[in-house]
Structure 1
Amino acid sequence: MKKKLIIDADTGVDDAQAIMVALAAPDVEILGITCCHGNTPLENVLKNTLRVLKVCNRLDIPVYRGCSKPLLARKQHAGDYHGKDGLGDVPDPDAPGLELLQKKKAAQAMIKIVKQNPGEVTLVAMAPLTNLAVAVQLDPSFPEKLKALYIMGGNTDSRGNTTMCGEFNFVADPEAAFVVLDRYTCPTHIATWEFSCRNSLPWCFCDQWLGEKTEKAAFMKKISRLSMTKAQSADYKKEITEGGGFNSCDTYAMVAAIADKFITEDEEVAVTVELEGAYTRGMMVLDYMQQLDKKHKASIMKKVDMEKFKQMLVNSLK
């Protein structure tokens, strides 16, 4: 049986990489891609998602319009890293039009798809968690019908990439992250910011990976140029990533969801999100002292099979 996925994305460069990895996996069926504000405004996210599907000849996959702003927080984007359009500011004049979008909205689509496939769908969340928070508000039983939830977001060591202590996806909608970590009691796996930095891709691999003579590789090389240049800058390496290489954040959550034995070390702990701190709003909190009294614990990824990760990235551009 194929692994059934819903992908929730704010399609920037790493989302595109993650989606292409899933599309290339022979044992994966993508039931839908729901779009959310995040790396770039929602209209760009929708266009970018369709661009990725087009280059992979998979415009048959349904794409849904989701939330354009956070529940309560101020809207913010990551244009300095992903480009103002979210895909490296290299527009495609022949990009698919938004008339290809489904009529149903993202949260309603999630609920319907999972209701039709109870216990079979894995939700891979690579954006601010607004769509997921809305879905559980509309249907409180939605999380228990999921097979699993994989999240790229949050942090473990108070090391931020947007605020001093906050990772972008959680900071972009802290209330949504709080709701999801509180109410989604299905098996939950989290690829945090520091984890992805510590498992970053060597630059020599990136040169080889993007050097393939295929249409997909040419597309990926073009959209990745801006973010890779940014990631290689001295200030960025020092302040943000620990300087280890290229960090395709969302792809870690995706590969964990679809590749058996990819995660070689993890840790189970109850988690929540700080909503009120002057410096720590949006920071993920790990409850080692068990003061939250939560029965549900999330699995926090620690180490991965890097060779498997590289191979799946290579396969995605063939």
Structure 2
Amino acid sequence: MSTPQGKKKVIIDVDTGVDDAQAIMMALAAPNLDILAITCTHGNTSLDNACKNTLRVLKTCNREDIDVHRGCHEPMLRLTRRAGDFHGKDGLGDSPDPDAPGLDKLHKRRAVQTLIRTVKENPGEVTVVATGPLTNLACAAIQDQHFPKKLKALYIMGGNTESRGNTTACGEFNFVADPEAAYIVLDRFTCPIYITTWEFTCRNSLPWSFCDEWLAQDTHKARFMKKIYQHTMKMAKSSTYQKEVVEGPGFNTCDCYAMAAAIDESLVLETDEVAVTVELQGKYTRGMMVLDYIEVLKKERKAIILKKVDLVKFKQLLMNALK
């Protein structure tokens, strides 16, 4: 199937918890995106749950025409991490749906092979939006050395700029969940890499009053989101979580910032370009993103770190997602 002229070819790589669901729904509502596939990975919840959750979101949005592919079920090295306390054990707020699609609805081709094949067939045309640990992308780069060179762009939600962690003292969840994968992706990919970090999303969080307005829309999608978001909202409003937020409590849908930037480039108002890597050895800093402003790393390629976005446009994309 050919992509309509003027549309961006996109693959979404997710570990579908509540915020990934929000980002997927934002992408589905964007008329300028042609979603070629959704690839799933471990992270917020188990791989099976991430796959089931993705299928459930697509059914809710009446977009079961989009193929979903099973990816990596664990990080490249060391222990698996989960975010069950925040997103619920199942990743979608522990609000099961007995009529949700089963794993038999998954495409038979695995995620890594899908990434390699799709990009090979569309060199220089495919943008990947990655909102979970980067294991699938790293494995694709290892299996096909040409893969990182053929992407049009990569948008990542992950990492941090000031060593403020939300999982470890200095680490953001997606990078901490697979530091080696994050290291490989930031080291080998030659396409433009746009990164929305933990601190950035915190500083651009929205008032809870907007969240109430967002969820109050009289649509099936809004009722679905309100149901799966109850657990996460309770956690996000707790005093413990609020202490982690860099500049005050608020509605922070982390993954949607990366998706919004991929949908509408004009939404990005300010960026910083700097060479980056990931710490792999530190006792307290393993998984932390390192920014090399004094060019010790001697890297020619710089990452594009988002600093400021148009929140009016961002809010509109969120509202559109649940219409």
TM-score, normalized by length of structure 2?
0.97
Equivalent position of 2:155 in the other structure: 150
Q: 1:208 aligns with which of 209, 213, 217?
A: 213
The residue type equivalent to 1:207 in the other structure is D
Aligned counterpart for 2:169 among listed residues 156, 164, 167: 164
Give the secondary structure class of the aligned counterpart of 1:127. coil
- 1:239: which partner in 2? 244
The answer to whether structure 1 residue 16 and structure 2 residue 21 are counterparts is yes
Question: 2:37, 2:66 within 8 Å by CA — same for their partners in 1?
Answer: yes
State the shift of 1:258 in Å: 1.0
Note if 1:194 corresponds to 2:199. Answer: yes
State the shift of 1:201 in Å: 1.4
| Secondary structure of 2:266's aligned partner | coil
Residue 141 (1) aligns with residue 146 (2): yes
Give the count of matched residue pairs.
318
**Corresponding position of 1:55:** 60
1:41-93 deviation per Cα after TM superposition (whole angstroms, max 9, x unaligned)? 00100000000000000011000000000000210100000000000000000
1:18 deviation in Å?
Answer: 0.3
* Aligned residue identity for 1:267: D
Contact 1:123/1:148 (CA < 8 Å) preserved in 2? Answer: yes
Displacement after TM superposition at 1:301 (Å): 0.4
Contact persistence 2:159–2:198 (CA under 8 A): yes
Aligned counterparts, 1:1-318, within 5 A: 1-318=6-323
SS across alignment from 1:17: helix
Deviations 1:144-190 (A, max 9, x none): 11100000000000000000000000000000000000001111000
CA distance in 1 between counterparts of 2:298 and 2:246 reads 33
Q: Which letter does structure 1 place at the counterpart of 2:192?
A: P
Q: Separation in 2 of the partners of 1:188 and 1:102?
A: 28
Structure 1 unaligned regions, length at least 5: none
Contact 1:73–1:174 under 8 Å retained in 2 = no
SS in 2 for 1:220: helix
- Name stretches of at least 5 consecutive residues in structure 2 with no aligned partner: 1-5
Give the Å deviation of 1:260.
Answer: 2.5
Deviation per CA, 1:8-41: give whole Å up to 9, x if none: 0000000000000000011111000000000000
Q: How far 1:242 sits from its partner (Å)?
A: 3.8
**Cα deviation code 1:257-288 (max 9, x no counterpart):** 11121110100000000000010000000001
TM-score by length of 1: 0.99
* Residue identity in the other structure for 1:188: I
2:17–2:87 contact (8 Å) kept in structure 1: yes
SS of the residue corresponding to residue 85 of structure 2 reads: helix
